[in-house]
A and B are shown apart, each in its own frame.
Chain A
C-alpha cells in the first residue's frame, strides 16, 4: 500500500517543470528586487521628489508688528492682519487656455489644431474671459471698475506679479478664495491701526504700506517693533493635516513700546489746543505736558493734525511734529530765567526794586522799551507786567558769559534728549561775541529760537526746583537722571513772582485756574521775517503747577493767530487752564488753593 502511494507521488513530479516554475518565479522576484534597488539605491532622487511634491509643505509663520502702549497700558498702535490680493497673469492665461481647450474637446474639435492656431486661441480665450461672471464678481468685491482691472489681469500674460488690491479684510479675502480663480493669489499682511487717531498722530508717526516705520516712534523703534517671521517645514497626510514636522524656525515676537504719554491727558491737551487754534484762526499750535519729577512727557500735541489711519489727506505741513521741530523766539516766557540769572549771580535779591523810568533805554544802538513807563518796580511786578526794561536792567549788570552760560545750561542749545525723529536743538549758539543789545534781547526772549519741547524742559526745571532733566517719551521706572543747575530758594522766589501773572493788573488777569495755585508766564513774540520783524505773532503760555509742590509743566504755543487777538493770554490762556487743571485732576493731585475743604481720614482717631 505504502509503495503504491510513493510511486504515485514520484510519478506526479516532473523535474523539468519544477525547474521552469522555479526559474520563472525567481526571475519575477529578481526583477522586482532589481527594480526596487534601482528606484531606492541607484536613482532615489526621483521617488523622493515625487513623494515630497505630494506631502512636503512649507508654512510661513506670520508675526505681527509690536504694539505701542501709553503709560496706563492703553493701546495706541495695533497691527491687525489683513490680506492682499495679487495676480500672476502668466498662470491666469495658462488657466484660461486650459479651460478653452477642454471646452473645445467636449464639442469635438481638433484640439491640436486649435492649440497651434494662436490668433484663434487668444480670441477664444478673450471670449471665455468675458463670459465668466466670476471675473466681474472679483472686480465688484474689490470695488474696482471692470475695465480697470481687466488690463492688469489679462493685459500682459508674460508678467508674473501684479497687486490687485492691498489690505483687504479677511471676509473679502475668503470670498475671493471661494471664487477659485486661476492665477489669483492671496498673501497675509498686516495693517497698522491707531485707535486714538489724530490725537497721537505726531508722536507715534506711521508705517508705510509694507509695515516699516517711516515717522515718529514707529521709525525710531522700528527694529524693536519688528519681529522675524518663522518657517515650518512639515509633511502632510492625504487630508492635509500636519503629521510630521521636519524643520521649524520659531518666529521671534517683537517687543512692545510703552510710552510716557498719558492718553487721557493727551486727549485733553489735543482738544484744548485744537479749539484754541480754530477759534483764533491760527496757522498752527503745539502743547506739551511734562512730569517735572521724572522728566517724562505726558502729552505732546500739535494742530493741525492728520488721521494716521488714512493718509490721503495728510499733507506734509500737517504731519510735522511741530512741538519738537518748529523753532520760534520764546519772547517773555524766558523772563523768569533772566530774573533767576540775577538772583543766582547775586546782583539782585528777592526784594530788590528796579527803576525802569522812563520806560525805554538805548542799549548798544537799539532801543529797549516797555509798552508804557512803569517807573520803580519790584521783581514781582516786573514778571507780573512782563516788563522788558526790568529784565534788561537785571541782565545788564551781569557778566555776558554768565547770562549766556545759564541759557546754555537750561538746554536752549541742545535737544531735549527724547531722541525723537526730527528733533531740533534750537537756534542758539553760545560760543560767540555777544553785543549789549543782544544780551538785553536774550533777557526778554529774542535773538534765540527754541522749540516748544525745549521751553517745556526749562519749565520742568523750574518745577523740579532747579534740577534739569532730559525729557523722555518712554515710560520710566525711575526718574531721569537730573543735575541741579539752579538754587531751590531762588526758584521758589521766582515761582511766587510768577503767580502774580493771574492777578488783577497782570498779563493774564482773566485766566482763572480752578482749585490749583499755578506759576506761569505769558509770551507774545513778533515773528522775524527777512529784514526785521513782521506783523505775525507767536503766543505762548507756559507754567508749572501746583506751586506748593510742582508736578507738571505745561506749555501751550499758538502760531500766527489770525483774528484781532494776538496777546498770549487771550489765545492760549483758556487752553492752558484746561490742560493744567484737567491733567492735575486726572493725576489725582490734591488742590492747593485754600478754597477747598480737606477732610483727613482717620484724623478723629488721633
Chain B
C-alpha cells in the first residue's frame, strides 16, 4: 500500500532522468562492472599501443644512430690507419725526432726468471 502510493506519487512528479539511469545501472551490478572494465581495457589498449609505438620510434632512432656511428667509426678507422702508416711513422721518427734503430751494443737484454 505504502509502496503503491509512493509509486503513484513518484509517477506524478517529473522523473529525474540522470538518477533513473544511474539507478538502472546499479540494478545490473555485473554488467556495470564489465562495462567499466571494458572502458579500462580499451583505454589501456590505446595507451599500450601508443607506448609501443614510442618505443619502436626510439628503437628505430637508436638503430639509425648505430649505423651512423658505425659509418663514422669506419671513416675514423681509415683516417687513423692513414696516420699510423709504418712508413710515415718511421719518416717522422727519423727526420723530425732524430730517432734511430738501436745497435746491438746499445741493447741491454733483460731475461725474466
Chain A positions within 8 Å of B, measured between CB atoms, are 64, 75, 78-81, 170, 193, 195-197, 199, 237, 241-245, 263-264, 267-268, 271, 514-515, 590-591, 593, 595-603
B89: nearest chain-A partner, CB-CB: A267
A164 CA to B59 CA, complexed, in Å: 35
Task: Mark the stretch among B1-9, B19-27, B33-41, B100-108 that contacts chain A.
Answer: B100-108
Q: A590-B111, A601-B111 in contact; A80/B75 too (CB < 8 A)?
A: yes
A606: nearest chain-B partner, CB-CB: B113
| A599→B108 contact, CB < 8 A | yes
Tell me which residues across on chain B come within 8 A of A79, comparing CB atoms: 74
A196 CA to B89 CA, complexed, in Å: 13
A414 CA to B87 CA, complexed, in Å: 36
| B82→A195 contact, CB < 8 A | yes
Tell me which residues across on chain A come within 8 A of B87, comparing CB atoms: 267, 271
Q: A514-B103, A603-B113 in contact; A199/B108 too (CB < 8 A)?
A: no
| B104→A595 contact, CB < 8 A | yes
A593 CA to B109 CA, complexed, in Å: 12
Q: A242-B60, A243-B53, A244-B56 in contact; A80/B74 too (CB < 8 A)?
A: yes
Q: 30 A-B Cβ contacts within 8 A?
A: A75-B77, A75-B81, A78-B74, A78-B78, A79-B74, A80-B75, A81-B74, A195-B78, A195-B81, A195-B82, A196-B86, A197-B85, A241-B57, A241-B60, A243-B53, A244-B53, A245-B56, A263-B86, A271-B87, A514-B103, A515-B104, A590-B109, A591-B104, A595-B104, A596-B104, A596-B109, A597-B108, A598-B111, A601-B113, A602-B112
| A196→B108 contact, CB < 8 A | no
Tell me which residues across on chain B come within 8 A of A599, comparing CB atoms: 108-111
| Number of A-B contacts defined by CB within 8 Å | 81
Tell me which residues across on chain A come within 8 A of B53, comparing CB atoms: 237, 243-244
A533 CA to B108 CA, complexed, in Å: 50
A585 CA to B74 CA, complexed, in Å: 32
B86: nearest chain-A partner, CB-CB: A267
Say whether chain B's binding surface is mostly helix, strand, loop, or mixed.
helix
Q: B71 at the A/B interface (Cβ < 8 Å)?
A: yes
Tell me which residues across on chain B come within 8 A of A80, comparing CB atoms: 71, 74-75, 78
Extra contacts besides A79-B74, A514-B103, A591-B107 (15): CB < 8 Å: A78-B77, A80-B78, A196-B81, A199-B86, A241-B57, A241-B60, A242-B56, A243-B57, A244-B53, A263-B86, A264-B86, A267-B87, A271-B87, A598-B109, A600-B113
How far is the CB of A58 from the nearest CB of chain B, in Å? 14
A244 CA to B55 CA, complexed, in Å: 10
Tell me which residues across on chain A come within 8 A of B105, comparing CB atoms: 595-596
| A81→B111 contact, CB < 8 A | no
| B111→A600 contact, CB < 8 A | yes
A84 CA to B81 CA, complexed, in Å: 25
How far is the CB of B96 from the nearest CB of chain A, in Å? 18
Tell me which residues across on chain A come within 8 A of B81, comparing CB atoms: 75, 78, 195-196
B83: nearest chain-A partner, CB-CB: A195
B53: nearest chain-A partner, CB-CB: A243
How far is the CB of A604 from the nearest CB of chain B, in Å? 10
Tell me which residues across on chain B come within 8 A of A195, comparing CB atoms: 78, 81-82, 84-85
A502 CA to B70 CA, complexed, in Å: 53
How far is the CB of B18 from the nearest CB of chain A, in Å? 22
How far is the CB of B59 from the nearest CB of chain A, in Å? 8
Tell me which residues across on chain B come within 8 A of A263, comparing CB atoms: 86
| A514→B104 contact, CB < 8 A | yes
A197 CA to B82 CA, complexed, in Å: 10
| B78→A601 contact, CB < 8 A | no
Tell me which residues across on chain B come within 8 A of A81, comparing CB atoms: 71, 74
| B56→A243 contact, CB < 8 A | yes
How far is the CB of A47 from the nearest CB of chain B, in Å? 21
Tell me which residues across on chain B come within 8 A of A243, comparing CB atoms: 53, 56-57
| B111→A591 contact, CB < 8 A | no
A591 CA to B104 CA, complexed, in Å: 8
A471 CA to B81 CA, complexed, in Å: 28
Tell me which residues across on chain A come within 8 A of B71, comparing CB atoms: 80-81, 170
A592: nearest chain-B partner, CB-CB: B109
| A601→B104 contact, CB < 8 A | no
A590 CA to B111 CA, complexed, in Å: 8
How far is the CB of A336 from the nearest CB of chain B, in Å? 26
A603 CA to B53 CA, complexed, in Å: 70
How far is the CB of A275 from the nearest CB of chain B, in Å? 12
A195: nearest chain-B partner, CB-CB: B81
Tell me which residues across on chain A come within 8 A of B108, comparing CB atoms: 597, 599
A79 CA to B70 CA, complexed, in Å: 11
A243 CA to B56 CA, complexed, in Å: 6
| A602→B113 contact, CB < 8 A | yes
| A601→B110 contact, CB < 8 A | yes
How far is the CB of A585 from the nearest CB of chain B, in Å? 8
A237: nearest chain-B partner, CB-CB: B53
Tell me which residues across on chain B come within 8 A of A596, comparing CB atoms: 104-105, 107, 109
| B111→A193 contact, CB < 8 A | no
How far is the CB of B80 from the nearest CB of chain A, in Å? 8
A595 CA to B74 CA, complexed, in Å: 47
| B104→A593 contact, CB < 8 A | yes
A602 CA to B112 CA, complexed, in Å: 7
Tell me which residues across on chain A come within 8 A of B109, comparing CB atoms: 590-591, 596-599
A38 CA to B60 CA, complexed, in Å: 37
How far is the CB of B93 from the nearest CB of chain A, in Å? 13
Q: What mask results when residues 42 to 82 of chain B are scored 1 for a CB within 8 Å of chain A, else 0?
A: 00000000000100110110000000001100110110011
A241 CA to B59 CA, complexed, in Å: 11
A268 CA to B90 CA, complexed, in Å: 10
Q: Ordered nearest first, which 9 A-B pairs have the shortest CB separation? A: A195-B81, A515-B104, A267-B86, A602-B113, A242-B60, A598-B109, A243-B53, A514-B104, A241-B57
